[in-house]
Amino acid sequence: MIEEGDRVLLLLEKRRTYLVEVEGEKAFHTHKGFIQLKDLVGKEYGSRIKSSTGTEFVALKPMIRDYIFKALRRTQIVYPKDAALIIIFSGIGPGSRVVEAGTGTGALTTALAFYVKPSGHVYSYEIREEFIQTALRNLQRAEVSEYVDIKKKDITQGIDEQDVDTVILDMATPWLVVPHACPALKGSGTFVSFSPTIDQVVKTVEALEEQGFVDIETVECLMRRMQTERGKTRPETLMTGHTGYITFARKAFK
């Protein structure tokens, strides 16, 4: 049941959703009228509720992807399509210790924290204070902040943690981190780098090979929605195309 203080995803129509917090006497206003948020209390997630104009909304329980898409943004986020590959290919799960840089607005950090809880931890490096503050708010909203330490430090100068399961990078110069990632990782631990340009990938792969990493692979994930309607089913004209290249590797001892 929805309780006071819960967060609810209000679905108006396909691709139009609103993430709200159920607070006291507050009303949520849209172009389709307003909803008294207190009226959500006691309802089951999945219930339908009408606005002041009679427009129907559905009250859904937010998933981790909703917190990512609805994150407060100061930078471009890592899309869920890429975050999903990063999580699966890196092998992280409950109990994993993960080093990440840079934090940005914390979208990928949120996803990582969600999957390492309750016994794992994410150590996220970021050099810009304004990004750190935004990321902290996003992590708190998704209720995963206790699984993350954000460190104001340049990761190209070194990694404090040792024996970590994974090092994950979303930054301009990932190849500069490779020499620090190697000693920080456990044997067979994974290295992941998200880069928008192929020039960054080439430099990173060369650095990985120099440090003796194995199972090096670079992929690109493209996602296309389908218009599904009887007699009109076809790929949609617009799609989420290139966002970045993801390079994976595993540590092997020389």
pLDDT digits 0-9 by tens, 94-114: 999 999 999 999 999 999 999
Residues 70, 14 within the same domain: no
Residues 150, 190 within the same domain: yes
Report yes or no: 135 and 169 within 8 Å, Cβ to Cβ: no
Residues 23, 116 within the same domain: no
Query: Which of 49-53, 221-225, 239-243 tops mean pLDDT?
Result: 49-53
- What is the count of structural domains for the chain? 2
Asked whether residue 124 carries a pLDDT value surpassing 80, the answer given is yes
Mean of all residue pLDDT scores within the chain: 93
Residues 221, 180 within the same domain: yes
Residue at 2 is within a domain? no
Domain ranges, residue 189: 66-250
Residues 114, 54 within the same domain: no
Asked whether residue 45 carries a pLDDT value surpassing 80, the answer given is yes
- CATH code of residue 71: 3.40.50.150
Residue at 39 is within a domain? yes
Which of 35-39, 146-150, 234-238 is the least confident region? Answer: 234-238
pLDDT number for residue 225: 87
Residues 16, 133 within the same domain: no
Q: What is the mean pLDDT of residues 71-86?
A: 82
- CATH code of residue 51: 3.10.330.20
What is the per-residue pLDDT across 1-38, written as a single tens digit (0 to 9) for each? 999 999 999 999 877 899 999 987 889 998 899 999 99
Residues 140, 22 within the same domain: no
Asked whether residue 240 carries a pLDDT value surpassing 80, the answer given is no
Residue at 19 is within a domain? yes
Residues 39, 164 within the same domain: no
User: Higher confidence at residue 237 or residue 117?
Assistant: 117
74 band by pLDDT with thresholds 50, 70 and 90: low
pLDDT number for residue 132: 95
